[in-house]
Each structure stands twice: as C-alpha cells, then as structure tokens.
Structure 1
Amino acid sequence: MQIRIVIAASILGAGFIASHAMASEAPAASPAAATPAAVVMPQSVDQAATIAALTQENALLQEKLKALQSCSITSTDLAARNSKRLKEITADVRAQRQSMADFESYVKWMSGHVAGYSKYIQAGSVAARFARVLPIPYAGQASLFTKFVSDAAVSLGATSVSINKYLGTSQQFLNRADALDPNKPNYNQEVSDLVRFADQDLLKGMGDVQERLVTTSQLSTSSLSFLESLNHYVGTTDEYWNKTKALLKSDDKAEKSFLAESTAALRNKAQVFNTKLQFFDSTVKKTSPQIKALVAYDDLVRSMEPKLAKAK
C-alpha cells in the first residue's frame, strides 16, 4: 500500500507541475500585437485564478495522501489481529477439551458393553444351526454380528487413541496461544508459526476426533437396535430364544433383567453422548473457517516479511 501511495503522490505532483508550467509558459504577446491595458487585466486575473485553483486542488490531494498513509497496514498490525483471533479460538478449544473426558468415558463404557453382550451373539450363532430365522437385525447372519463385535472393538480403540492425541495437541496449542506476547522481539514469528500449527495439527486432530466420534455414534445405534430386538424376544417362547438361553446356561430372569438394564442404559447414555457430539460438531464448524481465515492473513504477513516464511 505504501508503494501505491508513493506512485499516486508522484502522479499528482507531476500533474500539478505540468499544469503550473502550462500556465506560466503561455506565449507572451508581441509588441506589435499589444492590446490596451483594459484587455490585458482579465488575462492576468484568469491566470491567477487558475493558479489558485490548482494550489487548492493540490492541497486537497495532499490531505487525501496523508489520510491514505494513516490507513496503511503493517505486518505487525496483521500479526496482532491474528493473535487476537487465536486467543478467541482458545475458548472453543477449551470447551472441546471438557467434552473429551466425557467422550473417553463413554468409549470405555461402550467397549465393555459390546463385550458384555457378545455372548448372546455367540450363542445365537450356535442356535442358528437349529433355527431357520433369527429374530434380530441381520436375521440369519449371526456371523456378521460376530464380525461387528470385533470391528466395534477396533473402532472404539481407535477413537480412544484419537481423543488422547487431540488432548495433547490442543493443550500444546493453548500453551502457545497463552504465551503470545507483543513485547517479544520474535512476536510476529511466533504468531505466524502458531497459525500454521493450528491449520496443520490442531485442525487435523479436531477433524479426526470428529470422524471417530461419529462412527462411535453409529455403533451405538447399531448396538441399541440389536439389544432392543433381542430384549423383545426374551419374553417370548420363540424357538430362537429357547435354544439360545439353553446355551447360555444362566438364570432366565437374570438374563432378562440384564438385557433390559443394558438396553435402557445404552439408550440413555447414547442420548447424552449424541447431545455432546452435536456441540462438538458446532465448534468444529465454527473453528475451521476461522483458522483458514488466519492462514490467509498469515500469507499476507509472510509476503510482507519473507524472512518469516524462511524461518519456519
């Protein structure tokens, strides 16, 4: 912007000089063509008026140039802006971290929960040899349910790893954001580096957790569907359940109670989990474009101070 201002000033100055020169270099009348004094006076007045008008116009343009100079933005100004936005993002990151503990607790509970009813699936696989149709989702495909339990365990384990990794990344972001100080000599560099960290590490970890949590929510829905169907058939004299409970070799009432309690617990916990997941999703949708905007401003800072890009 400062370059544009200098160019504009040069052009304006040149215009003023050219106009003044044209006015002062008007051809003088020859002695032979001298006119009466009464005719010459208006020419002198017009010339003076022109110079006065040009002088006034130049003064106005000089004022505009000063105004443009006062509006110029430096790399330090942009770094200060990004620093302020980074500190605003920390509020959402801290809110996310509070939810992480609840997500981790739910994932652990789900891992034990899936393992808890795996015995019903195993018994159902044996009973399927005697019953033509299994009265549960994926009827007649007990082997797929066995695979579901195995895949669920792997998925829940990956979710737990993703949560713990994001807790570490987000804490590093918070520490660096809190340490930003405009009085430090390398302030612009620290702001620029943190913007890049937020884009490349924080945002990536945030998205990974979001994806894993959505998968966990889907597992909860599938598990709840299985338990509700199985719980429905426990109270019947269905051939499937009669053969299955014989294989379980446990008290019929206890099994019914366990299934009923497990179904209710999963339904309630899943509702709480999904509510927190919706909040987490909203913070991701809010934070993601904010960080991308910071990167755009940081690109401008680095174009003004190339040494920042080289120092990374």
Structure 2
Amino acid sequence: MQANPPFSLKPFNTFALAHSCRELVHAVSTEQLIESCCSLYQASEPMLILGGGSNVIFCDDFNGTVVLVETKGIDITEDIGNYYLSVAAGENWHELVCFCLDHGFAGMENLALIPGTVGAAPIQNIGAYGVEMEQFCDWVEYVDLTTGEYNRLSAERCEFGYRDSIFKRQLLGKALITQVGFKLPKQWRPELEYGPLKAINVDGVTPRQVFDCICETRLSKLPDPKVLGNAGSFFKNPVIDSTKFDILSKSYPSIVGYPHGAGKTKVAAGWLIDSAGLKGFKVGGAAVHDKQALVLVNTGDATSEDVVILAGSIVEKIEQKFGITLEAEPRMIGAYGERSL
C-alpha cells in the first residue's frame, strides 16, 4: 500500500470523475493480488477490486481500499480443433483481441475496442455485434475470498446471461477472478448479422475485415475516454415480450429490435433514447453524447451527482414514452461499495 492518502481515482475511471479512496494497491502479480484482497476481506475492510475502470461510476469518495488488477500473462495450447488461451485477469481486453488476431486465432474480432480488463469480462459477459464472451469462454479461475481457496468454473457453471453471470449474483463480493480460459475453434465462422456487418459479403470475408469494420464503427460513434470521459454503453438493451414489441412497432415503425429467445425481443436502448429526443440532453457537466445516444459523457466538469441525475431522468422519460424500464450497465460505487442508481 502507498502512503499519504487520500488517493485520486480520477485516473482510474474512464468517466474521469474526481473521487478518491483511502488506500490504493497496484497488484502486479497474482500472488500480490490474492494476498491483498484476502487480507482486506478477512479484516472486513471496505474493498473495491478494479480493472480498467471502464464500467464503474464513482458516486462518492470510496472509504476503503481500491485494488487495481494489473496482472499480465497469456499462455497458449492447442489441439486438432481448437486454440486454448489462459489469460491473466489484468490483461487489457482489446489488446487480447488484437493478440488473437495477430496470432491467427479468430472469433473474438466482434468484441474489439470494448474497454476494460479480461478479469472483468466474465462478470458482465461482455458482448457486441452479435457475439458474447461466453461463446469463447472455456473456464474462469477465481479465489474464494472467504476461504482463500482456488476454484475453476466451467463456462456452463458460470451461468452466463445477457450482461450477467454467477459473479454478479451468488458470488458477488466473494470471488476474485485471477485467470480466464478461452477456447477458439480453428474452424472460423463469421458473425455478420448486426449493424454495419450486414453489408459485408460473407464469401471470402476475413477476420481482419470484420475487426476493421468493428473498429471503424466504434471509433466513429464512441468518444475516446481520454478526450471525453465516458463509461461506454450506459444502459443495457432492454429485453421485452415480443408481443409488446409488435405493439410498439405499430406506433414506432423504425424501432430497432432483435429476437432474444422464445417470445422475447431485445430493443436497442440507443434508439429509445434517441427517439425520445435526448441526444445532447445535459445535466451540469454530464450529457447524452450527440453521436451515440447510448453513451453518457463527462463534458469536462461533471460531478457524480450530475451523472446520477441525468441517468435517472433518462430512465424516467423512456418509461413514460415507451413503457420500458432501462437498467444502467456500469456499476454504481458509493462510499462503502456497490449501490443502486
């Protein structure tokens, strides 16, 4: 641990909110990560395990220790049909996607430019453009903070769902993810059903072409956090009954939705916010991005109160206009841990 608290958390959250913590630990090895987190947990000290800080909104100064996961390492094996990767929790997600592409391991290119670390990916079951992490997850290794013991869960036992996993439910606050295993089939099948990918001719398409398309699209719509603070997509795409979607389609023919299991439709939250006329809507220094309504941004001097009020206003307006309740995607962190919006 470092001396002279409090420590600024502004460099460690992509929304660039000016909050601080009492102690800050840079865990660069798995051993240091486990020792720090287990000792804090067993001492009942307030603790926040933080990866890239891209999926958190600090609502207050954190009255405890923030442990930054900065572990590195990628191990590769293969068999006749698949490549297998064992990746340290602190590896950058987009850099992992690039690493795979450079080494001829295809499949995860649709997930390019998603901010954050590998260890955070299973918690949220990150996804984009028709692909979710669970499709390539082989296993997740974690340390049980209550016992200090290693555990390895198969992908099936992780109970992945839409932006959901066992780590957000039964294991919330109890599991320290240390490694994630990936299984990438050598027989590549492109996923071209979403957004701009539909324009790509499936005949002869390469993983690099898909990657380039995703990167170009995201860079054109999503602001660089180094320039304009943001936490990426702020709201989950709501899943509603298909019958309700059909009714909405009659009033709003341009509404965007995708089948999501039997009798369910996933609605584009960005379309809802845009259609409600909320692009550019501001509260203090926080605003709805003028190019991508799903993204809330820090225009330079946003406070956490600005962000919470803005997000709450959007939820209320969408509920009133469409009868759909939006749910925030980033974790809201209060003085002693996670809280609701």
Same fold (TM over 0.5): no
Q: Which has the higher contact order (CA 8 A, sep 6+)?
A: 1
Structure with max Cα Rg: 1
TM-score interval w.r.t. the shorter chain?
A: under 0.3
